[in-house]
Structure 1
Amino acid sequence: MSNLVYLMCSLPSLSFGQSPPISMEEFTSDAKSQLNRKSFAKLEAIDIQNMSLNSTKAELKKFSAMFTGLKEDISEIRHAKTQRRSPRISALPKTILAKNPFEREMDILKWQWEELDSIEAGKTFTLTEVLVYKLKLQILTRLDSFNTEKGSKILASVVNPAKKKEEQWQE
């Protein structure tokens, strides 16, 4: 218990929309030094991109179920678009459908953050709080990847070589 208290007190606070104040590697290193093997194994196994319904913590089963519903809704949105029909979604708010993909992604990340807030409420200095911290840090890392300048460079690296080849063929 005292190691959980020390770990959580030593970690920087997280707020939605901020740049991650700590890297995932730093967090993992800190957690590994403070948690017992069993707790650290649970922490290592949790990943926001790979949530499963057999999560070890009961509180996270709710998030896992929500995440599964989210993946199904995203799949339904894509499938409905190819069939030129209105999607039938169950987990996501209907207001999300009218937004562009970037706004939709931002709303989904905010929605996940709020779900994690509700799971974490009242769980001070518990393993659940550490697990939620990791998931929130993953959300912040994802948000931080939405950088216009970096995205433009990646797009240019993909498009420009193809454009140069096309120009060479035309000469």
Structure 2
Amino acid sequence: MILYVEDDMFLRMTVSYRLFTKASIPFDVACNGAEAVEMAMAAGPDGQPHLERYCLIVMDNQMPVMNGAQAARTLRERGYKGLIVGMTGDPHGCEDRDAFEASGLDLCVDKAADGMETLAAIIAARVCRTPGAEPPEAASSESERVGDFLPLSPCTR
């Protein structure tokens, strides 16, 4: 299962639909870093944190409550060993991006098309999908039809 962490509703819907829903990949959504940490650290049947629940956490950096850098650092400090991929619109060399990359991420990708292609390749390589499902779709330069989007999260931000 994948945990996708993004506060922007349009991006949450777009990325979730293109990379997860269309490919029949199970995923959960969090709207900020604090929710992500809470979900990843939730107790399993034995009452202990179920750290293997998510094989991949994909998160934005600039979010309310707790940003991506703080969330990644907290997850690593609490024992999460899975893959954490950061997504950012910050340019290389930007102080916020540098801090995000140093926070415990395995990889940081751009929110631009090439970053989405990289993320789609990671998902295709690491995540089991329903047999016969389409592979994750990389971003294209064409606009998506709004009618293709599904309401995927109770978040309203």
Query: Do the two structures share a fold, i.e. TM-score over 0.5?
Result: no
- Name which one, 1 or 2, has greater alpha-carbon Rg: 1
**Structure in which a larger fraction of residues adopt helix:** 1
**Structure in which a larger fraction of residues adopt strand:** 2
Which protein, 1 or 2, shows the higher relative CO under an 8 Å CA cutoff with sep ≥ 6?
1
TM-score where L is the length of structure 2: 0.26
TM-score where L is the length of structure 1: 0.24
